[in-house]
Amino acid sequence: MTAQEMKTEITGSEAVLKALVAEGVDTIFGYPGGAIMPIYDALYDYHDKLEHILVRHEQGGIHAGQGYARTSGRTGVVFATSGPGATNLVTGLADAQIDSTPLVCITGQVFAHLLGTDAFQETDVINITTPVTKWNYQVTDANEIPAVMAKAFYIAGSGRPGPVLIDITKNAQLQKFEYKGYEKCHHIRSYRPKPIVREEYVKEAAALINAAERPLVIFGQGVILGKAEEEFKTFIEKSGAPAAWTILGLSALPTDHPQNVGMLGMHGNYGPNVLTNECDVLIAVGMRFDDRVTGRLDRYAKQAKVVHLDIDPSEIDKNVKTTVPVWGDCKETLPLLTSLIEKKNHAAWINRFHECMKMEEEAVINEELHPTNEVMTMGEVIEQLNQITNGEAVIVTDVGQHQMVACRYAKFNKSKSNVTSGGLGTMGFALPAAMGAKYGAKERQVVAIIGDGGVQMTIQELGTIMQYGINVKILILNNRFLGMVRQWQQLFHEKRYSFVDIESPDFVTVAKGYRIEGNSISKREELREALKTMLNHNGAYLLEVMVGKENNVFPMVPQGCGVGEIRLK
């Protein structure tokens, strides 16, 4: 850029778009409105540089941004107008905050002189979103825009990622100012994205691992966010320890890796839960000891020494007392730790997990994946999907029984393949997130697995799929209930089924109204061919599979119980 070009006068709106281009953004999900109209007007001239996807609801836009970020490993970008447009982002912001998803959300705001006057479509979006963003900021002067945008992208994508919201008043969007170019941000004085690695702690952790007879590694999304999949694999293979995953850690390690012993938590595998209370050293990598993983904390791994690797110091000792904290980015700390540990073989210990899996297969898995009665199960649908996709697809799940079944039984060979709402548990997440996931991984097959309740929360995004020809496959597992709530009511509330019996439209007819092909099946003999037809179809496709109304997801750790009290039936 020449000195003359750097002194060009431009509007605040164009400065926003120049920032996006400079940051390498290629896709925006958004919905226009009065307060953000100047940015959309400027966007008219950037159609060759930035692809904008017009969603049908702002919540759909932000979930799409999340899906894009999760499969691409980049920062998602979302536009919304003021007032209801901005408040419709709040659920997605909360979801992204708790699941550490990098987003930059740009909202329009009323003219600065109208702030605080209850002007049309004015809300105090800064105070509303402060609890659910990593950082937010209101711009009232266009001169601030380049630096604020650079800061937003740096904060969103660095350290433990998260959502950032920039609220720009309409006068700042329209205001012309002397543009002096755009510089990416690489440092903020008051912000340290990664803690300093303490080598003495790494040495202490290695000593504990070397002395362990029954080590257990539990890993979360931090491995994926840190792009440390290879470093993690090298670490566990040298340690010889079994490794179990949280639902957001799923796909960081191939499902069929011999040291992968399954899923932790409320509906996780029997072995990882029960044997957590028998391990002597618990090594947590990039996970936060969520209550769904730990159950009752006063009954969780009390016998174990705990090594916790995390980039966010606030997670250390937050829920589980740590013996040795290893602060830092696991891409840096894992190789340091690996270099100090001894190569071990814990075959006898790993065999304990295999024995537990055999018990689980006899009690739960065999009947779930290969049922003997006429009613189809969610598990057998996932099993057939595995066989056809060979574990190569991106699976996007909503929230409920189908989510737990998919996480339990889906197979993954590649990282960034499991996209789900973990911490917030947002029904309505999957359909729009699948759209974004496809834009983030255009070359990959993307399958959205959704329940009959959750799909109706954001079903209008079929319109977005129609308009842009987004090639996503939509698999609705329909049990005619709000299944997870019904399961709890059955088990803990004496089958008092209070407002969980949900009627649904003819989903195939609804899809056809959006010019999306579809089919509905209820017989086992139709399943495999129906899945093949869905996956091979050129374009979006909706397949509804009618499954058992009152099937439950087991194993299960009842709320208020410890992980050792997991029920197989």
Q: Which residues are identified as catalytic?
A: 58, 120-121, 170, 484
Contacts of 551 (CB under 8 A, 6+ apart): 375, 377, 378, 401, 479
Type and span of the H or E element at 169: strand 163-169
Distances (CA, A) of 46 to 238, 311, 442: 50, 37, 21
Distances (CA, A) of 362 to 242, 533, 548: 22, 32, 20
DSSP character at residue 45: G
DSSP character at residue 278: T
- Residue 24 DSSP SS3: coil
Tokens of 172: 């700042």
Contacts of 48 (CB under 8 A, 6+ apart): none
Instruction: Return d(Cα 58, Cα 64) in angstroms, integer.
Output: 10
Sequence-ordered alpha helix ranges (H) in 137-198:
145-157, 170-174
Sequence-ordered alpha helix ranges (H) in 378-461:
378-389, 401-409, 430-440
Assign 3-state DSSP to the chain and report helix, strand, coil percentages, each to 5.
Answer: 45, 20, 40
Q: Are strands 418-419 and 394-397 parallel, antiparallel or unpaired?
A: parallel
Cβ(295)–Cβ(278) below 8 Å: no
Cβ(316)–Cβ(160) below 8 Å: no
